[in-house]
Amino acid sequence: MGAALLLGAAVALPAGFVLGRLGNGTERERPARQGDPGLRDVFSPSIRADPYFLARQREGIEALERHCARTGQSCAEARAARKRLSDLDAAN
């Protein structure tokens, strides 16, 4: 059993090195997804300018505003969130 394990490792290790070198010939490029509100740009240096982030914030604020209209609760938070989102939109 031990001999089979050593033989398997002796074959698998060099095979792994060879297969690992095959993929290193090309360099990976950054995907061009900037500006698509359906996808988060994970390479963005600022989340505040990311269309995906802003769209999700809008959805949350609209839900909070609906809750405020329905129950009368969290209205101050909804107004503050809407103001902050307006400030972020104006900055972009």
Is 58 inside any structural domain? Answer: yes
Most confident range (mean pLDDT) of 1-5, 28-32, 37-41, 49-53 is 1-5
pLDDT at 28 over 60: no
Give the range of the structural domain holding residue 77, as residue numbers without chain letter. 35-92
Work out how many domains the chain is built from and give that number. 1
Is 87 inside any structural domain? Answer: yes
Is 78 inside any structural domain? Answer: yes
20 or 69, higher pLDDT? 69
pLDDT at position 30 is 54
What's the rounded Cα separation, in Å, for the pair 88 and 51? Answer: 11
pLDDT at position 12 is 85
Arithmetic mean of pLDDT over the chain = 81
CB 52 within 8 A of CB 39: yes
Is 40 inside any structural domain? Answer: yes
Is 23 inside any structural domain? Answer: no
Burial class (CB in 10 A: 0-12, 13-18, 19+), 76: exposed
